[in-house]
């Protein structure tokens, strides 16, 4: 039977498709040579990032944030430990965007390279896998790349997250929509078409929207569907959105799915009074891929924006330093979170006055320091599993290509526009 | 009724994409009895080739389609002559060919990482978001074009395989290579030609895919799996069966949304595959000798 050998490789290929997409490392991004055990004369901090593979673009952004934080610490003579400045060194490895690699490299950093502390990787699934290793080894693990509440609901003691939960992202967006509804610019009740990626990120987004929608009776969720990551055809799903004649189109998607879905959304002639893809929307790459016109008035909620520099001195300091280091380029939230993650750990070490893991953990638990994040303060509340609940900022793409902050009111740099003027 | 019509159109257009992805894989297995694991690599390479020609030289992807297919055809012949040719013929070389072509795929993918990094790329043309109205539904110009190319490939493959000397030779070699050697058909040349053709079709599919979705060097893995499903459903070695299987798979996936959650629709194809293998192991249209 000819089919048999053909099918026998199906499983092998399925496995291969899930393997690290690349073990190769770009020059300058490679793993550092195995270090000897750190002496008390330096602080060795381990981290992995997805420098290759599916998340490599964002992994590179986090690397920029980490590097800037370490560079600044070095320029300041190191991190102060018990009145003595110690040089701080980053041992950064490439986890190739693969869960298994992220976990095994974390284990290597802790048990072979003997790092003092760990900084986290990017992407919820990688942080989820890696944080288990940190917890098992009782080492402080501070990450700015894992937002899903599932990571922080496990009762872990050594895991700290700077990304506020995606539920809060959805809530921030709904609050702005609610204000527009109260002002009579959005119908009451408003119907919602809710599409979410079938990941913990998407589930949190869905929960945030539905919890808010179910509160006052001013919203009705007409479509509530999930989709697989890296989808190729959303036409059937968008057909449901069209049939529902929803007022609000709220989706949660990663960048490739945002581009594919929005392209099909526009092609199908859809238009809603409010359009959002969760944290995606203002990316330059999306505007280039879809055309500026096709991303107009899309709203997105993000963990940080360079526009915060107008109102937050720490954000301004970071933006200036970043632009100086990277030829005038503006940072995105990824670099800011990378930078702030490293800074949070340095602060905890300084406050602890020692490299004792327990002491540093205690300072992280009790941390309340000024921050470049929205809200201006960084904490790791115990009631939320040591996950920061810093507020989100909501932004909206405008026809001139800018994406000003439209919410919350204390951070807003412009007034949001609703309903979408492009809908006729 | 309107919704049914829209879903039907969506399924037909999706079938166009699926069939272009699967033709090359089916053709190579049908003749050489080799599972070309580098099919995914060539899909990805085709996507990058189309993107680069558009990005750097401004050549429309549908204009560069022939060029990319021709170059990939040459690459396929080189891979065959340089690597695959050295393996035992037919089933005897099965496992070795899997390992060899998987290795080639890894190399192709890592070269793409080195050249283009892991960033997602998108190919945007002036008609990327254009649509035309058909029976009240708006249809993407790009998707219609992909469907048109799929139908054209089917027609050309059918004509080549049934009306030309080379096509008849390919079918004869697929049927019995030893007898072909006895009657003077250059079997090795036919193998090389078929491998080149299958590789060219994979690159063409990748280029067409790049007009629809963002892609990066890991592009092609999911497409290879989908191609497997289509080829096995259609019956290995059947070009027309491949097209019909693509349509069946697309119909099942698209209409499944009416009865199951959307995120499960991608798995429907694999369920269908298992069912077909249990009930009709030779595929829906049985084993054919191409055409």
| Residue A350 domain flag | yes
- pLDDT over 70 percentage in chain A: 91
Q: Whats the size of chain B, residue-wise?
A: 291
Chain B contact set for A267 (CB, 8 A) = 129-131, 138, 140, 142
Name the domain count of chain B: 1
DSSP for B31-80 reads HH----TTHHHHHHHHHHHHHHHHHHH---HHHHHHHHHHHHHHHHHHHH
pLDDT for B238 equals 75
What lies within 8 Å, CB to CB, of A210 at 6+ separation is A194, A221, A224
Instruction: Examine the domain organization and report whether A155 and A180 are in the same domain.
Output: no
Give the N- to C-terminal CA distance of chain B in Å, as an integer.
36
pLDDT at B101 over 60: yes
DSSP for B228-241 reads HHHHHHH-TT-HHH
pLDDT-derived band at B49, boundaries 50, 70, 90: very high
User: How buried is A277 (Cβ within 10 angstroms: 0-12 exposed, 13-18 middle, 19+ buried)?
Assistant: buried
- Nearest-angstrom CA–CA distance, B1 and A407: 42
Chain B contact set for A57 (CB, 8 A) = 117-120
- Nearest-angstrom CA–CA distance, B139 and B131: 5
Instruction: Examine the domain organization and report whether A252 and A356 are in the same domain.
Output: no
pLDDT at A11 over 60: no
Chain B contact set for A266 (CB, 8 A) = 129
| Residue A10 domain flag | no
| Residue A255 domain flag | yes
CB B255 within 8 A of CB B11: yes
Interface pTM, i.e. ipTM: 0.84
- Nearest residue to B126 (alpha-carbon basis) of A262, A291, A270: A291
pLDDT for B286 equals 63
- Nearest-angstrom CA–CA distance, B230 and A326: 48
- Nearest-angstrom CA–CA distance, B174 and B110: 33
- Nearest residue to B8 (alpha-carbon basis) of B104, B147, B112, B194: B147
Instruction: Examine the domain organization and report whether A283 and A320 are in the same domain.
Output: no
Give the N- to C-terminal CA distance of chain A in Å, as an integer.
59
pLDDT for B290 equals 56
Are residues A288 and B124, on separate chains, in Cβ contact within 8 Å?
yes
Position with higher pLDDT, A21 vs A86 = A86
Position with higher pLDDT, B118 vs A395 = A395
Q: What is the pLDDT of residues A244-256, one digit of tens each?
A: 999 999 999 988 8
pLDDT for A22 equals 34
**Of A35-39, A317-321, B244-248, which has the strongest mean pLDDT?**
A317-321
Position with higher pLDDT, A53 vs A92 = A92
Nearest CA in chain B to A97: B118
- Nearest residue to A54 (alpha-carbon basis) of B45, B220, B206: B220
Q: Whats the size of chain A, residue-wise?
A: 424
**Of A24-33, A320-329, B277-286, which has the strongest mean pLDDT?**
A320-329
Nearest to B118 among A14, A22, A255 (CB): A22
User: How buried is A245 (Cβ within 10 angstroms: 0-12 exposed, 13-18 middle, 19+ buried)?
Assistant: exposed
Are residues A26 and B117, on separate chains, in Cβ contact within 8 Å?
yes
Q: Which residues pair with A89 in a beta bridge?
A: A44
Q: What is the pLDDT of residues A331-385, one digit of tens each?
A: 999 999 999 999 999 999 999 999 999 999 999 999 999 999 999 999 999 999 9
Instruction: Examine the domain organization and report whether A298 and A371 are in the same domain.
Output: no
Most B CBs within 10 Å, among A56, A122, A236, to test the B interface:
A236
- pLDDT over 70 percentage in chain B: 96
pLDDT-derived band at A33, boundaries 50, 70, 90: very low
pLDDT-derived band at B212, boundaries 50, 70, 90: very high
Domain with B78, as residue range(s), is: 2-115+129-279
- Nearest-angstrom CA–CA distance, A234 and B263: 11
Task: Give the gap in angstroms from C-alpha B17 to the nearest C-alpha of chain A.
Answer: 10
C-alpha count within 13 angstroms, C-beta hemisphere, residue B193: 16
Instruction: Examine the domain organization and report whether A38 and A159 are in the same domain.
Output: yes
Nearest CA in chain A to B18: A232
pLDDT at A409 over 50: yes
- Nearest-angstrom CA–CA distance, B276 and A181: 52
Q: What is the pLDDT of residues A379-404, one digit of tens each?
A: 999 999 999 999 999 999 999 999 99
Nearest to A7 among B117, B213, B277 (CB): B277
| Residue A419 domain flag | no
Are residues A239 and B14, on separate chains, in Cβ contact within 8 Å?
no
CB A266 within 8 A of CB B129: yes
pLDDT at A118 over 90: yes
- Nearest-angstrom CA–CA distance, B124 and A343: 40
CB pairs A-B closer than 8 Å: 166
| Residue A421 domain flag | no
Across B230-259, average pLDDT:
87
Instruction: Examine the domain organization and report whether A38 and A133 are in the same domain.
Output: yes
Window B:222-261, CB contacts with A under 8 Å: 222, 224-225, 228, 231-232, 236-237, 253-255, 257, 261
pLDDT at A38 over 80: no
pLDDT for A18 equals 37
Phi/psi region, residue A223 (left: phi>0; alpha: psi -120 to 50; beta: rest), is beta
pLDDT for A186 equals 96
Task: Give the gap in angstroms from C-alpha A187 to the nearest C-alpha of chain B.
Answer: 26
Task: Give the gap in angstroms from C-alpha A123 to the nearest C-alpha of chain B.
Answer: 15
Instruction: Examine the domain organization and report whether A74 and A44 are in the same domain.
Output: yes
Q: What is the DSSP letter of B213?
A: S
Across A7-16, average pLDDT:
45
What is chain B's mean pLDDT, rounded?
Answer: 90
B150: CATH = 1.10.3470
Instruction: Examine the domain organization and report whether A96 and A51 are in the same domain.
Output: yes
| Residue A352 domain flag | yes
Window A:66-105, CB contacts with B under 8 Å: 97
Across B51-66, average pLDDT:
96
A8 touches chain B (CB under 8 A): no
Phi/psi region, residue A54 (left: phi>0; alpha: psi -120 to 50; beta: rest), is alpha
Are residues A227 and B263, on separate chains, in Cβ contact within 8 Å?
yes
Nearest CA in chain B to A27: B114
Name the domain count of chain A: 2
Position with higher pLDDT, B1 vs A49 = A49
Nearest to A289 among B3, B33, B122 (CB): B122
Q: What is the pLDDT of residues A57-73, one digit of tens each?
A: 889 999 999 999 999 99
| Residue B120 domain flag | no
| Residue B244 domain flag | yes
User: What Rg value do the Cα atoms of chain B yield, rounded?
Assistant: 19
pLDDT at A20 over 60: no
| Residue B123 domain flag | no
pLDDT for B288 equals 55
A344: CATH = 3.40.50.2300
Task: Give the gap in angstroms from C-alpha B177 to the nearest C-alpha of chain A.
Answer: 16
Nearest to B281 among A3, A264, A285 (CB): A3
Position with higher pLDDT, B92 vs A188 = A188
pLDDT for A407 equals 95
Helix, strand, coil fractions of chain B, as percent rounded to 5:
75, 5, 20
| Residue B76 domain flag | yes
Window B:38-97, CB contacts with A under 8 Å: 40, 91, 94
pLDDT at A35 over 50: no
pLDDT-derived band at B237, boundaries 50, 70, 90: low
A186 three-class SS:
coil
pLDDT for B3 equals 77
pLDDT at A26 over 90: no
A11 touches chain B (CB under 8 A): no
pLDDT-derived band at A21, boundaries 50, 70, 90: very low
Structure-block tokens of residue B60: 């429309």
Instruction: Examine the domain organization and report whether A186 and A291 are in the same domain.
Output: yes
User: How buried is B280 (Cβ within 10 angstroms: 0-12 exposed, 13-18 middle, 19+ buried)?
Assistant: middle
- Nearest-angstrom CA–CA distance, B164 and B17: 27
- Nearest-angstrom CA–CA distance, A267 and B212: 11
- pLDDT over 90 percentage in chain A: 80
A37 touches chain B (CB under 8 A): no
Position with higher pLDDT, B36 vs A57 = B36
| Residue B103 domain flag | yes
**Cα-based distances in Å from A112 to A36, A102, A107, B38:** 9, 15, 8, 37
Instruction: Examine the domain organization and report whether A184 and A159 are in the same domain.
Output: no
How far is C-alpha B210 from the geometric centre of its chain's CA atoms? 14
pLDDT-derived band at A96, boundaries 50, 70, 90: confident
B128 touches chain A (CB under 8 A): yes
- Nearest-angstrom CA–CA distance, B41 and B106: 8
Residue A34 φ then ψ, to 5°:
-55, 130
Domain with A177, as residue range(s), is: 168-302+393-407
Chain B contact set for A264 (CB, 8 A) = 140
Query: Which of A30-34, A144-148, A161-165, B242-246 has the lowest average pLDDT?
Result: A30-34
Instruction: Examine the domain organization and report whether A232 and A286 are in the same domain.
Output: yes
- Nearest residue to A1 (alpha-carbon basis) of B114, B237, B130: B237
| Residue A332 domain flag | yes
Q: What is the pTM for the complete model shown?
A: 0.83
Q: What is the pLDDT of residues B67-82, one digit of tens each?
A: 999 999 999 999 999 9
B275 touches chain A (CB under 8 A): no
Across B137-149, average pLDDT:
91
Are residues A24 and B35, on separate chains, in Cβ contact within 8 Å?
no
Nearest CA in chain A to B29: A6
Structure-block tokens of residue A374: 């929205």
A221 three-class SS:
strand
Instruction: Examine the domain organization and report whether A76 and A49 are in the same domain.
Output: yes
A239 touches chain B (CB under 8 A): yes
- Nearest-angstrom CA–CA distance, B225 and B54: 28
| Residue B124 domain flag | no
Across A293-299, average pLDDT:
96
Across A149-157, average pLDDT:
94
Chain A contact set for B91 (CB, 8 A) = 5
Q: What is the DSSP letter of A280?
A: B
Window A:253-292, CB contacts with B under 8 Å: 255-256, 259-260, 263-264, 266-269, 285, 288-291
Residue B185 φ then ψ, to 5°:
-80, 130
Q: What is the pLDDT of residues A160-184, one digit of tens each?
A: 999 999 999 999 999 999 999 999 9
């Amino acid at each position: 039977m000819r089919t048999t050998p053909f099918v026998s490789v199906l499983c092998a290929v399925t496995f291969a498709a899930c393997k690290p997409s690349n073990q190769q490392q770009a020059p300058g991004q490679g793993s550092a040579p195995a270090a000897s055990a750190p002496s008390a004369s330096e602080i060795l901090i381990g981290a992995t990032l997805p420098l290759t593979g599916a998340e490599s673009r964002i992994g590179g952004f986090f690397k920029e944030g980490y590097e800037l934080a370490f560079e600044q610490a070095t320029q300041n003579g190191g991190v102060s430990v018990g009145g003595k400045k110690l040089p701080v060194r980053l041992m950064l490895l490439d986890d190739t965007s693969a869960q298994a690699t992220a976990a095994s490299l974390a284990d290597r950093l802790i048990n072979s390279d003997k790092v003092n502390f760990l900084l986290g990787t990017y992407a919820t699934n990688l942080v989820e896998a890696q944080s288990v290793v940190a917890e098992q080894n009782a080492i402080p693990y501070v990450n700015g790349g894992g937002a899903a509440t599932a990571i922080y609901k496990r009762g872990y003691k050594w895991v700290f997250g700077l990304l506020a939960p995606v539920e809060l992202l959805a809530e921030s967006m709904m609050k702005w929509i609610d204000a527009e509804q109260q002002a009579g610019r959005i119908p009451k009740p408003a119907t919602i078409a809710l599409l979410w990626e079938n990941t913990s990120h998407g589930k949190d987004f869905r929960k945030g929207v539905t919890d808010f929608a179910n509160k006052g009776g001013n919203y009705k969720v007409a479509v509530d569907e999930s989709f697989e990551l890296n989808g190729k055809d959303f036409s059937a799903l968008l057909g449901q959105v069209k049939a529902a004649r929803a007022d609000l189109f709220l989706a949660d998607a990663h960048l490739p799915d945002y581009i594919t879905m929005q392209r099909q959304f526009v092609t199908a002639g859809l238009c809603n009074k409010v359009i959002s893809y969760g944290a995606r929307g203002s990316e330059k790459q999306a505007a280039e891929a879809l055309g500026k016109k096709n991303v107009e008035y899309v709203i997105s909620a993000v963990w940080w924006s360079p526009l915060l520099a107008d109102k937050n001195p720490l954000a301004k300091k970071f933006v200036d330093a970043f632009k100086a280091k990277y030829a005038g380029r503006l940072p995105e939230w990824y670099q800011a979170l990378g930078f702030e993650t490293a800074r949070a750990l340095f602060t905890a070490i300084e406050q602890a006055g020692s490299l004792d893991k327990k002491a540093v953990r205690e300072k992280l638990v009790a941390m309340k320091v000024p921050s470049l994040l929205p809200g201006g303060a960084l904490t790791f509340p115990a009631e939320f599993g040591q996950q920061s609940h810093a507020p989100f900022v909501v932004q909206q793409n405008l026809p001139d290509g800018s994406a000003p902050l439209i919410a919350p009111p204390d951070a807003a740099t412009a007034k949001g526009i609703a309903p979408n003027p492009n809908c006729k | 009724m309107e919704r049914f019509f829209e879903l039907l159109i969506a399924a037909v257009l999706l079938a166009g994409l699926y069939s272009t992805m699967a033709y090359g894989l089916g053709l190579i297995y049908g003749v050489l009895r080799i599972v070309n694991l580098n099919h995914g690599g060539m899909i990805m390479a085709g996507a990058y080739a189309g993107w680069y020609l558009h990005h750097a030289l401004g050549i429309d992807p549908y204009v560069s389609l022939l060029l990319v297919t021709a170059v990939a055809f040459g690459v396929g012949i080189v891979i065959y002559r340089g690597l695959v040719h050295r393996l035992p013929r037919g089933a005897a070389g099965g496992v070795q060919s899997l390992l060899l072509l998987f290795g080639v795929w890894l190399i192709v993918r890592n070269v793409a990482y080195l050249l283009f990094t892991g960033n997602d790329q998108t190919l945007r043309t002036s008609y990327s978001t254009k649509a035309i109205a058909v029976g009240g539904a708006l249809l993407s110009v790009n998707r219609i074009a992909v469907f048109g190319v799929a139908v054209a490939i089917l027609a050309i493959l059918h004509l080549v395989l049934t009306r030309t000397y080379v096509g008849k030779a390919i079918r004869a070699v697929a049927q019995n290579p030893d007898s072909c050697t006895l009657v003077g058909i250059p079997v090795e040349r036919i193998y090389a030609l078929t491998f080149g053709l299958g590789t060219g079709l994979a690159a063409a599919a990748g280029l067409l895919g790049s007009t629809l979705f963002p892609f990066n060097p890991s592009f092609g893995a999911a497409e290879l799996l989908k191609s497997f499903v289509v080829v096995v459903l259609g019956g290995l070695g059947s070009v027309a069966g491949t097209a019909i299987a693509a349509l069946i798979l697309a119909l099942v996936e698209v209409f499944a949304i009416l009865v199951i959650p959307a995120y499960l629709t991608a798995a429907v194809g694999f369920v269908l595959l298992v069912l077909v293998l249990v009930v009709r192991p030779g595929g829906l249209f049985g084993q054919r000798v191409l055409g």
